[in-house]
Chains A and B, each alone.
Chain A
Amino acid sequence: ETGVTQSPTHLIKTRGQQVTLRCSSQSGHNTVSWYQQALGQGPQFIFQYYREEENGRGNFPPRFSGLQFPNYSSELNVNALELDDSALYLCASSSGIAGSYEQYFGPGTRLTVT
Chain B
Amino acid sequence: TQLLEQSPQFLSIQEGENLTVYCNSSSVFSSLQWYRQEPGEGPVLLVTVVTGGEVKKLKRLTFQFGDARKDSSLHITAAQPGDTGLYLCAGGKSNYQLIWGAGTKLIIKP
Contacts and interface: CB of A to CB of B under 8 A. Distances in A.
A99 B42 contact: no
Nearest to A45: B97
> Chain B: interface secondary structure?
loop
A100 B42 contact: no
Size class of A's contact patch? 20 to 34
Contacts of B101: 42
A2 to B, nearest CB: 15
Given A104-B45, A107-B40, A42 B103 contact: yes
Interface of B: 2, 4, 6, 30-31, 33, 40-45, 48, 88, 90, 92-103
Interface of A: 4, 33, 35, 40-45, 48, 50, 55-56, 58, 90, 92, 97-100, 102-108
Given A41-B102, A97-B95, A107-B42, 16 more contacts: A33-B96, A41-B103, A42-B101, A50-B96, A55-B96, A92-B42, A98-B96, A98-B98, A99-B92, A99-B94, A99-B95, A99-B98, A100-B95, A102-B33, A108-B40, A108-B42
